Structure 1
Amino acid sequence: MTFEGKPESQLYLGEKYQAKEKPIANGKARLSARQKAKEKCDLPRKSLNTYTWQEIQRHNQETDQWLVINRKVYDVTAWADRHPGGREVLNHYAGEDATDVFRAMHPDPDIVQLYLKPLLIGELAPEEPNQERNKNSQLVEDFQELRRTLETMNLFSANLGFFFLHLAQVLILEALAWVIVWHFGSGWLVTMFISCLLTVAQAQSLFLQHDMAHLSIFKKSKWDHLMQIFVTGHLKGLSAKWWNMEHFQHHVKTNIYLKDPDINLEPFLVIGDLQPVKYGKNKIKYINYEKQHLYFCMVGVPLLMPVYVNLKSILAMYRTRAWKDIAWVSSFYIRYFITFGPFYGIFGTMVLIYLVKFLESPWIAYVTQMSHIPMKVSKEENQDWFSTQVLATCNVEESFFNDWFTGHLNFQIEHHLFPTMPRHNYHKVAPLVKSLCAKHGLPYVNKPMLKAFGDTLRALKKSGALWKEAYRIHPQT
């Protein structure tokens, strides 16, 4: 759930929906807005209506959405369509406590208070607990204390040099590929070599794009916004708006059926324990799901980036008429044609682009799937934020290669708990998260990379076996 974000739909807070304030043009003005928001929150208020959790939980429909943040009750129904992070993430938390997810997804929650203030309708009754009664209040309190500790340690501040080095890595690799083909020609060996260089650049661009979606690196939203659409559109050739809407849903309801788009892979794959049984009972057989782990390797892995991701991005831009994204994605292809067109021609350059995406696809497929597919996949259980993320994610062991190969997404647990934390700080946080897991009896799963790859296939094979068993024993209805 993000009231503050980067792409066009995640409007620069301070430009479009500024709540009766002047646009924030610089860091000083931004600080002033933050102070003003704090002052408004500190002013004495008229007595607010009070609500019980039972009353709040009834407002969980798309046309009637209430949520709770820090014991305050907000009616976000009318705001949902303008929500910069997409209406879905608000709908996913309707009728629930959203305190931790709100804090997790907003780099600067003080400014967002300007937007929350008009939506405030009341507060929890004094006798009501801070969270719903089914949640572990001690765990929630301990996690919030952990977050305050990390903020005191300044671990949410980004190191500009770190990210500029990663951007430089991408640009140098792309420039080197052009120099090589210019000097040595466009033979097959040269083409394969530069394709490998460009594949590394594309994979690292995706990790950088991922950073831009979550962080306020420059502390000025318009520059963060520009940097993200540059990396996502110009370097990756994808729609920033589409990618963020999908990605934020994944973060706020990780591995939850119908809410996390990353596990809604039907009819191509059935994931977890529930979905395959449902398909089997209903005699649904788009493919032979018993063999889906093999299809994943032979078809899903190589076609993820060049077909599935690119097609979804293009369709989203067309349906939403996202002209800014269309312009930036077009610049990606124009750059390739200008750079490599003189050596390969139009058709050859298109082949080069999709060869690079084809080579990148297995890399990205395994990095993105190995931390979630083998973990808990469930229906909505309305668990606390900490438990939900820890049970739905796993880490891959830390090493120089693993960190670089995954873009530090081998620290998936820490990334999901603290999405706005820069990735160069994950390793500092990991021991504290592991300690909190041990205190509350939660598994902290940390695997070697090859085991993580293998567990992805084993999880798909297990789900396929569940489908086959349900398909076999349930008669046609």
Structure 2
Amino acid sequence: MGKGAEQTPAHVYTWEEVQKHSHKNDQWLVIDRKVYDVTNWAQRHPGGFRLIKHYAGEDATEPFTAFHPDQKFVQKFLKPLLVGELATHEPSQDSNKNTAVVADFRELVTHLRKEGMFVARPWFFGLHLAQILLLEGGAWLLLWLWGAGWGPTLLCIMLLTIAQAQASWLQHDFGHSSVFKKTSWNHITQRFIMGHIKGVSAQWWNHRHFQHHAKPNVFSKDPDIKMVKLLVVGNVQPVEYGIKKIKFLPYNYQHKYFFLVGPPLTIPVLFHIQSMHASITHGNWEDMAWVLSFHLRYFMCYVPLCGVLGTFALVIFVRFLESHWFVWVSQMSHLPMKIDHEKHQDWLSMQLNATCNVEQSAFNDWFTGHLNFQIEHHLFPTMPRHNYHQVAPLVKALCEKHGIAYQEKPMGTAMADVYRSLKNSGELWLDAYLHK
């Protein structure tokens, strides 16, 4: 129970009072005008304590609704944390958010729920899982039948890379609890795919990825734009670094060295170090066991065919290729968009400022795992991806009504924009570094 949970919920608070409770050891949230003290609960939150911290002292109604498909289930956790409600003269939204935008978006969510847009088709995801297993099995069968020559080995690597990339998109679906009605089944299936098929901690991924969804492209809150001092991104950070004469690397060349550090090293190096560190630090032995099962499976299957060193090289090369695929798909919808410090925007405006879509086609849908519909995915993270194309026209209409830019690009343009945005950020840094 949170601090103060035994107080009567008859207490009323102003936004000014709520906003004082936005510190590590004192965190309140407002959900549907109810005020909750989540200070102690944050450490037990299944989505990670940082996710709650990002909304401490704020209205969290939209993200709460977006992340929790079963509202009745989570109410039993919220009820003991209730400490009061907003005073009647206080608006429902904090920080001068656009009331009309918030109201229209909530109305859209209600409409989509009534239309069944949040109901998954299990067969759709079952076919994707079957595709992955066939690719994995086919890769091994290829080497078993024809031996580890150059031709079969290269084809094996290609099949395994495709399987790993498609597994990334599928575990992403289960991580957002968009397939099974019972959350436990989503968690078990995601651990199987993420741990056994991909060899990475599912819990680490969820805690990282949910932060990205909660505050996309917001410095200190979105881990996806924490570039470990390798890159400066957006239009704000480069100028800040330049004025302060911060130069860890020659950022004016980052659009060139990005190809040497971002796509090839994200999964084989960065993600695996972070995953192992998180699992060991938090004692997450279940995920560690799943990851161990991945390595045991690979070595049992491929050592007899390729030898120890050959199997090790096979895994590394597949990781290397998959990493390129993953980085371009994930970054082309976010890196060229607005990246800034916290602006306390409403959910719709925040997600649209940080996200763009890639044009729909059968190939784009398959290649990105339907993450070419990043806008719809960010607005409705628990919505099954096979419904994004039906929802997109309604989102476009809502954005047009309120003058919010809805960006959609060809895939080639979206990828080129990653290069252009890095080049522009580097030039902003150099100008500020030399002249300000």
TM bracket, shorter-chain basis: over 0.9
- Which residue among 69, 73, 80 is the counterpart of 1:111? 73
| Contact 2:9–2:82 (8 Å) recurs in 1 | no
The aligned counterpart of 2:182 is: 220
- The amino acid that maps onto 2:412 is L
- 2:59 match: secondary structure: coil
State the SS of the aligned residue for 1:156: coil
1:362 is matched with 324
State the Cα distance separating 1:318 from its structure 2 match.
Answer: 2.1
After TM superposition, the structure 1 = structure 2 runs for residues 383-402 of structure 1, keeping only pairs within 5 Å, are 383-402=345-364
Letter in 2 for 1:368: S
SS of alignment partner, residue 437 of structure 1: helix
CA contact (8 A) 2:199 2:295 kept: yes
Q: Report the CA distance shift for 1:50/1:461 in structure 2 as closer, same or farther (over 3 A).
A: same
Which has the higher mean CA deviation after the structures are superposed, 155-164 or 54-63?
A: 54-63
Match of 1:69 in 2: 31
**Once the two structures are superposed, what CA deviation does each residue of 1:99-120 show, in whole Å capped at 9, x if it has no partner?**
0110001121111000000000
**CA-to-partner distance for each residue in 1:10-62, whole Å, 9 max, x for gaps?**
xxxxxxx9xxxxxxxxxxxxxxxxxxxxxxxxxxx976111111111111111
CA distance in 2, matches of 1:300, 1:217: 31
Aligned to 1:52: 14
One-letter amino acid of the counterpart of residue 64, structure 2: F
Question: Deviation string for 1:232-266 (max 9, x for gaps)?
Answer: 10011101111111001000011000000000113
User: Does 2:241 match 1:279?
Assistant: yes
Range with greater deviation from structure 2 (278-287 or 237-246): 278-287
What amino acid is the match of 1:328?
W
- TM superposition score normalised by structure 2: 0.97
The residue number in structure 2 matching 1:348 is 310
Partner secondary structure for residue 180 of structure 2: coil
Match of 1:139 in 2: 101
| 1:297 positional shift | 1.4
Which sits farther off after the overlay, 209-218 or 159-168?
Answer: 209-218
**Cα deviation per residue 1:135-186 (whole Å; 9 max; x = unaligned)?**
1000000000000000000010110000000000000001111111111110
Give deviations 1:433-461, integer Å, cap 9, x for gaps: 00000000000000000000000110111
Q: State the percentage of identical aligned residues.
A: 56
Cα separation, 2, equivalents of 1:66 and 1:254: 21
Q: Flag the 1:454–1:47 CA change in 2: closer, same or farther, 3 A.
A: closer
SS at match of 2:343: coil
Equivalenced residues, count = 432
What displacement does 1:300 show? 1.6
Q: Distance in 2 between matches of 1:46 and 1:374?
A: 48
CA shift at 1:188, angstroms? 1.3
Mark the runs of 5 or more structure 2 residues left unpaired by the alignment: 2-6
Q: How does 1:307-346 map to 2 (within 5 A)?
A: 307-346=269-308
Provide closer, same or farther for how the CA distance between residues 233 and 133 of structure 1 changes in structure 2, counting only shifts above 3 A: closer
Q: Distance in 1 between matches of 2:85 and 2:261?
A: 51
Amino acid of the structure 2 residue aligned with 1:402 = N
What SS class does the counterpart of residue 225 from structure 2 fall into?
Answer: coil
Which residue is 2:142 aligned to?
180
Cα separation, 1, equivalents of 2:292 and 2:261: 27
Structure 1 pair 334–146 and aligned structure 2 pair: CA distance change class (3 A)? same
Measure, in 2, the Cα distance between the counterparts of 1:57 and 1:46: 20
- After TM superposition, give the deviation of residue 196 of structure 1 in Å: 0.3
> Structure 1 residue runs of 4+, over 3 Å off?
none
Deviation per residue, 1:390-421 (Å, 9 max, x gap):
11000000000000000000000000000000
Letter in 1 for 2:384: P
Partner of 1:248: 210
1:360, 1:81 → 2: CA distance? 33
User: Hey, what's the Cα distance between the residues in 2 that align with 1:417 and 1:219?
Assistant: 20
Cα 1:436/1:216, change in 2 over 3 Å: closer
Q: Show the counterpart of 1:197.
A: 159
Instruction: Give the letter for the 1:204 counterpart.
Output: Q
Indicate the SS of the match to 1:271: coil
CA distance, structure 1, for counterparts of residue 191 and residue 225 of structure 2 = 25
Residue from 373, 398, 416 that aligns with 1:436: 398
Query: Which stretch has the larger CA shift, 272-281 or 177-186?
Result: 272-281
Give the SS at the match of 2:101.
Answer: helix
Unaligned 5+ segments in structure 1 are 1-16, 18-44
Among 266, 280, 287, the residue aligned to 1:304? 266
SS in 2 for 1:209: helix
Deviation sequence 1:338-378 (CA, Å, 0-9, x none): 11110111111010001111111111110000010000111
Residue 292 of structure 1 pairs with residue 269 of structure 2: no
* Alpha-carbon distance in 2 for matches of 1:60, 1:312: 27
| Cα distance in structure 1, aligned partners of 2:184 and 2:294 | 21
Greater mean alpha carbon deviation, residues 130-139 or residues 162-171: 130-139
Greater shift in the superposed pair: 296-305 or 417-426: 296-305
AA partner of residue 149 (structure 1): H
